[in-house]
């Protein structure tokens, strides 16, 4: 089935301008503050897919490209929260734990030529065995691991925090470069407190150091209710974060700027510490301490606004599926995102792939899926005896993009039958239908003798960024395959089979 949606331009952000402006502004800030700067970088340095989705033109590794301009002047400090290590928190978009993500990032930083020698573990206590084991592992790998402990009264009791009983109890990481990029595998790692603890200890060692914040979202010079800022709020709905007007900035300059609750809550502590140590603070507001230039690099506001609206809908579906998987009556996260959807005026039907998939499922009585291709064409896939709906949709998309007639059979029977036999007779699967990964394997085998199969495989690269919707919750295999292909998947929060235990 083929439909056509209204095609949307795909670029709204000037990536090259961003790299230039951002690196220049960071250098200027460091020069203004003196000898040493701790630059907290929120969000993700690599694979920032959220930014690339809501700011079309922003590449997932834009931030690291920017830092390449400053590589010889900086070192990177990796910060992890001991609680995330202890309870094996997972980075949802990659499906790996925070400790694995930290190690992956360290490897990438080194491959890119960045200096990274320090790992900081925050909120550590003696009963966190997983966190302590990770600390030992990093030390055996040659990294210098610094332990930070829970601080009584953080972030409001400034007298205790800025004292030997507060930051003074933490270990000090002896960094050597003048620009220290403080990052972590995800939100809530403790990057701000780690930076402030470092500044406190630097002062005790006769080193004058400062702090700046590089957080892509919320974008301070976009309106509070702008879809791009609302998409960030949807992305952090599970953290109970809120975008707010920076009250300190408004009081100091009579100018509105967007910040978020955690920065506003922590700002008085940072300001008090700088004033206590150095007699003055260069910042009058959380906005002042930011160095984010992303808002200056939006080249088409309408494109970014629509991309952000679509991201909010995707976040809502993701939350609904997670709530269904956990079989919980707590819909707090999806309810928060639903409020955001109403605020920016969208419904789930505004996602173009939803209605075609749902209608096909209603007509066939079987799971169905739909994909929107780069030219705006929407194709669907239905469930058959041979293929699941996702696999069928994938083949339909590849045939369409390769210019192959829809009646052509891309998969040779000799490639399909052994896979089905292996699944049902030897691997214990109750489902003989091919998953997306099995379809691609069969397609690769068929390509040995088929020009059409070869043409179809060549089109895989063009699926990155395409939106997909399915009418049932995907199994882990199909979900992983779509993630590897870079496709943006949502699903109705429904299991096809009424079972207590669900497997792929």
DSSP 297-312: GBS-HHHHHHHHHHHH
Give the model's pLDDT for residue 47. Answer: 75
Give the model's pLDDT for residue 35. Answer: 76
Could you tell me if 293 and 419 lie in one domain?
no
415: domain CATH number is 3.40.140.40
Residue 153 resides in a domain: yes
Model confidence at 504, pLDDT cuts 50, 70, 90, reads very low
Give the model's pLDDT for residue 66. Answer: 85
Residue 308 resides in a domain: no
SS3 (DSSP) at 181:
strand
Could you tell me if 97 and 209 lie in one domain?
yes
Model confidence at 115, pLDDT cuts 50, 70, 90, reads very high
Round the average pLDDT of the chain to a whole number and report it.
Answer: 90
What are 184-221's pLDDT values in tens digits? 998 889 999 999 999 999 999 999 999 999 888 999 99
| Lowest pLDDT segment from 110-119, 293-302, 445-454 | 445-454
Model confidence at 307, pLDDT cuts 50, 70, 90, reads very high
Could you tell me if 381 and 447 lie in one domain?
yes
Residue 253 resides in a domain: no
Contact predicate 237/316, CB 8 Å: no
What are 7-36's pLDDT values in tens digits? 444 799 999 999 999 988 988 888 888 779
Give the model's pLDDT for residue 427. Answer: 65
72 φ/ψ sector (left φ>0, alpha ψ -120 to 50, else beta): alpha
Could you tell me if 293 and 392 lie in one domain?
no
Give the model's pLDDT for residue 426. Answer: 64
Contact predicate 276/162, CB 8 Å: yes
Residue given tokens 């992983």 in the structure block: 480
Model confidence at 2, pLDDT cuts 50, 70, 90, reads low
What are 140-183's pLDDT values in tens digits? 999 999 999 998 889 889 999 999 999 999 999 999 999 999 99
| Lowest pLDDT segment from 98-102, 301-305, 325-329, 420-424 | 420-424
Which of 262, 281, 297 is the C-terminal boundary of a domain? Answer: 297
Give the model's pLDDT for residue 3. Answer: 56
Q: Where are the beta strands (DSSP E) in 42-85?
A: 74-81
What are 56-82's pLDDT values in tens digits? 999 888 888 888 888 999 999 999 999
Contact predicate 502/494, CB 8 Å: no
Statement: residue 5 has pLDDT above 80? no
Give the model's pLDDT for residue 428. Answer: 64
Could you tell me if 40 and 114 lie in one domain?
yes
Crossing angle of helices 451-458 and 389-402, rounded to 10°: 100
Domain of 148, in residue numbers: 10-217+289-297
How many other CB atoms are there within 10 angstroms of residue 206's CB atom? 6
If you average pLDDT over residues 104-110, what whole number do you get? Answer: 93
Could you tell me if 491 and 360 lie in one domain?
yes
Distances (CA, A) of 245 to 184, 187, 220, 337, 475: 26, 21, 9, 19, 41
**Total domains present in the chain:** 2
193: domain CATH number is 3.10.630.10
Q: Which of 284, 220, 297 is nearest to 256 (CA)?
A: 220
| Lowest pLDDT segment from 252-256, 386-390, 452-456 | 386-390
If you average pLDDT over residues 323-335, what whole number do you get? Answer: 90
Which of 275, 297, 319 is the C-terminal boundary of a domain? Answer: 297
CA distance 311 to 357: 19
**pLDDT above 90: percentage of residues in the chain:** 69
Could you tell me if 207 and 293 lie in one domain?
yes
Could you tell me if 48 and 179 lie in one domain?
yes
Residue with the bigger pLDDT between 434 and 333: it is 333
Secondary structure string (H, E, C) spanning 237-251: HHHCCCEEECHHHHH
Model confidence at 448, pLDDT cuts 50, 70, 90, reads confident
Give the model's pLDDT for residue 430. Answer: 61
Which residues lie closer than 8 Å to 440 by C-beta, 6 or more apart? 394, 457, 460, 481
Q: Where are the beta strands (DSSP E) in 45-103?
A: 74-81, 90-91, 96-97
Could you tell me if 31 and 152 lie in one domain?
yes
Give the model's pLDDT for residue 6. Answer: 46
Residue 268 resides in a domain: no
If you average pLDDT over residues 92-114, what whole number do you get? Answer: 89
Residue 284 resides in a domain: no
Statement: residue 245 has pLDDT above 80? yes
What are 347-378's pLDDT values in tens digits? 999 999 999 999 999 999 999 999 999 999 99
Model confidence at 497, pLDDT cuts 50, 70, 90, reads low
Give the model's pLDDT for residue 336. Answer: 96
Residue given tokens 């919320």 in the structure block: 218
What's the token pair of residue 230?
């609302």
Could you tell me if 293 and 410 lie in one domain?
no
If you average pLDDT over residues 321-332, what whole number do you get? Answer: 89
**pLDDT above 70: percentage of residues in the chain:** 93
CA distance 67 to 109: 11
CA distance 211 to 192: 9
Residue 373 resides in a domain: yes
Give the model's pLDDT for residue 499. Answer: 47
Q: Is 177 exposed, middle or buried (0-12, 13-18, 19+ CB in 10 A)?
A: middle
Give the model's pLDDT for residue 193. Answer: 94
Contacts 24+ apart (CB under 8 A), 302-307: 302/12, 303/8, 303/9, 303/10, 303/11, 303/12, 303/56, 304/12, 304/13, 304/54, 304/55, 304/56, 304/227, 304/228, 305/226, 305/227, 305/228, 306/8, 306/227, 307/12, 307/53, 307/54, 307/55, 307/56
Which of 263, 297, 331 is the C-terminal boundary of a domain? Answer: 297
Give the model's pLDDT for residue 1. Answer: 55
What's the token pair of residue 478?
């199909």
What's the token pair of residue 346?
């969208």
Residue 146 resides in a domain: yes
Residue 492 resides in a domain: yes
Could you tell me if 63 and 158 lie in one domain?
yes
What are 30-54's pLDDT values in tens digits? 888 877 999 998 777 777 889 999 9
Q: Which of 371, 404, 406, 372 is nearest to 390 (CA)?
A: 371
If you average pLDDT over residues 468-490, what whole number do you get? Answer: 93
Could you tell me if 154 and 47 lie in one domain?
yes
């Amino acid at each position: 089935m083929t439909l056509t949606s209204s095609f949307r331009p795909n670029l709204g952000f000037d990536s090259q301008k961003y790299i230039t402006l951002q690196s220049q502004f960071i250098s200027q800030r460091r020069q203004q503050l003196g000898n040493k700067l701790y630059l907290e970088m929120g969000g993700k340095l690599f694979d920032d897919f959220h930014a690339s989705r809501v700011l079309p033109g922003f590449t997932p590794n834009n931030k690291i490209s920017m830092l390449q301009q400053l590589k010889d002047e900086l070192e990177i400090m990796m910060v992890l929260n001991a609680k995330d290590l202890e309870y094996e928190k997972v980075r949802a978009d990659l499906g790996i734990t925070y400790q694995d993500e930290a190690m992956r990032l360290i490897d990438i930083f080194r491959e890119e030529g960045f200096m990274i020698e320090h790992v900081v573990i925050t909120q550590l206590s003696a009963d966190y065995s997983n966190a302590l084991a990770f600390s030992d592992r990093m030390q055996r790998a040659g990294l210098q691991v610094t332990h930070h402990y829970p601080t009584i009264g953080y972030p409001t009791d400034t007298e205790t925090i800025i004292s030997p009983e507060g930051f003074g109890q933490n270990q000090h990481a002896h960094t050597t470069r003048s620009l220290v990029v403080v990052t972590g595998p995800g939100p809530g790692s403790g990057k701000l407190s780690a930076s402030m603890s470092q500044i406190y200890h630097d002062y005790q060692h006769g080193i004058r150091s400062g702090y700046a914040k590089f957080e892509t979202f919320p974008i301070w010079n976009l309106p509070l209710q702008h879809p791009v800022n609302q998409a960030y709020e949807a992305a952090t709905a599970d953290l109970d974060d809120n975008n707010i007007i920076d009250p300190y900035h408004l009081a100091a300059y009579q100018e509105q700027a967007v910040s978020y609750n955690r920065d506003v809550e922590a700002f008085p502590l940072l300001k008090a510490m700088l004033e206590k140590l150095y007699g003055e603070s260069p910042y009058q507001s959380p906005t002042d301490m930011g160095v984010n230039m992303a808002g200056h690099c939006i080249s088409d506001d309408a494109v970014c606004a629509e991309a952000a609206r679509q991201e909010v809908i995707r976040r809502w579906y993701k939350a609904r599926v997670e709530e269904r998987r956990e079989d919980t009556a707590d819909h707090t996260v999806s309810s928060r995102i639903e409020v955001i959807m109403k605020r920016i005026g969208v419904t789930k039907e505004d996602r173009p792939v939803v209605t075609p998939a749902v209608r096909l499922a209603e007509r066939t009585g079987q799971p169905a899926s739909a994909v929107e291709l780069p030219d705006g064409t929407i194709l669907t896939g239905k469930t058959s005896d041979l293929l699941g709906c996702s696999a069928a949709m994938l083949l339909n998309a590849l045939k369409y993009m390769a210019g192959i007639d829809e009646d052509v059979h891309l998969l040779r029977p000799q490639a399909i039958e052994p896979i089905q036999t292996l699944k049902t007779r030897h691997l214990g699967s109750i489902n003989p239908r091919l998953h997306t990964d099995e379809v691609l394997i069969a397609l690769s085998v068929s390509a040995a003798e088929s020009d059409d199969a070869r043409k179809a495989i060549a089109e895989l690269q063009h699926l990155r960024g395409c939106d997909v919707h399915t009418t049932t919750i995907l199994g882990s295999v199909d979900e992983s395959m779509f993630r590897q292909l870079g496709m943006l998947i949502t699903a109705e929060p429904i299991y096809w089979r009424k079972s207590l235990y669900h497997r792929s």
